[in-house]
Structure formats: structure tokens, C-alpha cells
Amino acid sequence: MGRLDGKVALITGAGQGLGRVAAELFAAEGAKVVVAEFSEQSGRETVAAIEAAGGTAAFVPVDVSKADQVEAMVQFAVDTYGGLHVLYNNAGIMPPDDGATLDTPESTWDVVMEVNLKGVWLCCKYGIPAMVASGGGSIINVSSLVAVMGSAVAQIAYTASKGGVLAMSREMAVEHAKQGVRINALCPGPIMTDLMAELLSDDAKRARRLVHVPIGRFGQAQEIANAALFLASDESSLMTGQQLVVDGGISAAYVTPE
């Protein structure tokens, strides 16, 4: 028996990185997965990987900052699989010119807020009614470690957007708890994605980051997917309005021991 048997799971940003790993895991655990992705090619690659492993998945294109596309995405999930029980709001961006407060262009601030914050709100706005009609379910909003403590690297728009996701998740959770919809925020620390590997290809840069991680290594995408699976499943049935921080102990440390 899979931990998500009989559930329909919609995952945004599921064409690559953390979203693809989560989509494959959710499908392996029995969910029918709706792969929502801006890039059609990468989204269909995720679907193909799930189907090759014996799972069930369908692709829907979406720009999460556009209300009409988000509404159509949710309707696609309901029309294709008959309901919605898990909504994993994973899609997000971090442009290279998102930096210090005084240096970040206004246009960069605006696009980050459109995708990272407004996008999550839109997904919940249209996803919650479908979830209520399906008998309830679980929403996982991807926030970040930087929502609970300042970033070591300047990324003001990203940090502000993820703080907004965390605060918004709490309020939504209280508002919809009695309708059987649980809403939690997942706050990853530094994860060794392809982008992270590229940024930390220099040994000195890697060492400067690792000294702040008590567990002594960066996280893996599978570890974040495992945390999301817990929040998506009935195992977390008493959790709502919470932040699940998966960061290797960074937020617990004042000074990292040698």
C-alpha cells in the first residue's frame, strides 16, 4: 500500500529539480500526479519518467502568476482524475540580479513576487474549493529557511517572497481548517541541486557555506521530497499552519562547533 493511494496530487514546478523528484516519489506512493510546469518539454519528461516506472501522471502547462492559467490547471486535475487531494506549491524563481536591498531592480522584485508569492496565493485560491469538494486534503507551500532567518547571500526579493509564503500559509490554515484542508509551509535549507553545484563548484565557496551547516553536508532533493510526502500523507493529519524546516540544523545553531 502506498502512502498516497487513491489521492490526486498536483505539483507545480514539477518539470525539474525538487519538483520532479517529488512528483516521481508521490507517484511511486500511489498518487495520480498532475505535473504542472511552465516548460512543456521538461513537464512531459517528468510524466514520461513516472509512466516508465509504472505510475500515473498527466502534464498541464501553467504560469502560476496568471489567474486564468492557474484556474485551468486546477480544473484539468479535477477533469482528468476526478478531484484534488494534495497541492504541492513548489514553483518558484530566483533571478541572478536579485541581490542586496539597494541593488535589486524594481522589475526583478516585481517578477519574483508575481511568481513566488502571488503564484502560491493563486494556486490556493483556486485549489482550495476543489479540495473541499473532494473531501479535504493537504496543501504544501514551499517557503524557505530564509523565511525564518536572514540569508547569508543577498537575495532580498526571494527572501521577502518566501517570508510572505510562510505568513500566508499560517493564515490560510486557520481559515480553512474546519473544511478539512490542511496547509503547511515546507522550509528547505541549502539543497545540492544542479544550480547549487554550479554556484559552489569552487572548493573555497563550498567550505564557507558548509561551516554553517551543523550536519556537515548539503541536503539532497530526495530528503525534501520525503518531507513533502509526510505533509501530503495522512501521517501528518494533526499538522496545519506549521513550518517544517529541513535545513541540516542551520536554524538551530548560533555557532557551529568545530
Q: Give the Cα separation of 42 and 59 in Å (integer).
A: 10
Cα dist. 240→72, 133, 231 in Å? 27, 19, 9
Q: Give the Cα separation of 38 and 146 in Å (integer).
A: 25
Q: Where are the alpha helices (DSSP H) in 29-118?
A: 40-52, 67-81, 106-112
Instruction: Tell me whether residue 79 is exposed, middle or buried, using C-beta atoms within 10 angstroms of its C-beta: 0 to 12, 13 to 18, 19 or more.
Output: exposed
Catalytic residue among 88, 126, 158, 254: 158
124: nearest Cα among 47, 184, 35: 184
Residues across the chain: 258
Cβ atoms < 10 Å from Cβ of 100: 10
Q: Where are the alpha helices (DSSP H) in the chain?
A: 17-28, 40-52, 67-81, 106-112, 119-133, 156-176, 194-199, 203-210, 221-232
- Hey, what's the cell of 29? 506512493
Cβ atoms < 10 Å from Cβ of 12: 28
Active site residue 158: yes
Q: Which phi-psi region, left, alpha or beta, contains residue 248 (left: φ > 0; alpha: ψ -120 to 50)?
A: left
**Catalytic residue positions?**
158
